Amino acid sequence: MNALDQELQKINASTVRMLSQVRESVNLAQRGLVEADAKSAQKCIDDDVHIDKIQEQLEQRILSVIARRQPAARDLRFLGAVHRALSDIERAGDYAVRVARASIALSEKPPLKKYLDMDRILTILSTMIEVTIKALTESDIEAARNAWVMDDEIDDLYGQMERELLTYMIEDANTISVASQLLSVGRSLERLGDHIENVNEHIIFWLTGERL
């Protein structure tokens, strides 16, 4: 294995580590919200600094490899795809933190409803990231496509949740405050899914040269 291949492997491994950290953040946010577990929510918030640090290190490493090794063709496409994916991964982590912060505030109030739909969305997100990791580590185009389409179910669940919460607000003005917070949580989850969808678009471009 030549020096370029070794560096590409290290970049791949660090990207997987960053995705794994975001997946853990999603799981912590899920416990914070669904189980009113403020400790898990706070850990999600505290851990975000690690995601940011990996992103910063990876961006510098990628630019260094491009400058020093002058990779061509597929290797350059890989580096470009990962570089673009990093901001999406970081933003996904930020949205998990938003959910965690909201869950701490919500845990101090009587629940408006059972969080079944949000629990389902968070479970899908965790699986989506897991499949994305498989796509990246195994150069698996089908895994990338499978993860990419998972966002459709998230969008459907978010739309269903939004309609339900708006009904609460219309029927009982006393629910407006909590329902508004839950709408914000739902929007954060929907955006988190969009960013992981984008990551898979970048992976598909790396593997096929195809822009979705």
| CA trace torsion 142, 27, 115, 89 (10° rounding) | -60
The pLDDT value recorded for residue 172 is 93
Instruction: Report all structural domains of the chain as residue ranges with CATH numbers, in order of start.
Output: 3-208 (1.20.58.220)
Average pLDDT, the chain: 95
Does 183 score more than 80 pLDDT?
yes
**Coil vs helix vs strand at 119:** helix
Does 212 score more than 80 pLDDT?
no
Q: What are the start-end ranges of the H helices in the chain?
A: 3-34, 38-69, 73-106, 116-138, 141-171, 176-208
Kindly report, residue by residue over 160-169, the tens digit of the pLDDT: 999 999 999 9
pTM of the model: 0.95
The pLDDT value recorded for residue 113 is 82
Q: CB-based contacts of 25: which residues, under 8 Å, 6+ apart?
A: 44, 47, 48, 51, 93, 96, 97, 100
Number of Cβ within 10 Å of residue 38's Cβ equals 16
Q: CB-based contacts of 37: which residues, under 8 Å, 6+ apart?
A: 31
Kindly report, residue by residue over 60-109, the tens digit of the pLDDT: 999 999 999 889 888 999 999 999 999 999 999 999 999 999 999 998 88
The pLDDT value recorded for residue 72 is 87
The pLDDT value recorded for residue 211 is 81
CA 200 – CA 151 distance, rounded (Å): 11
Kindly report, residue by residue over 114-161, the tens digit of the pLDDT: 899 999 999 999 999 999 999 999 999 999 999 999 999 999 999 999
The pLDDT value recorded for residue 111 is 83
Place of tokens 């020096």: 3
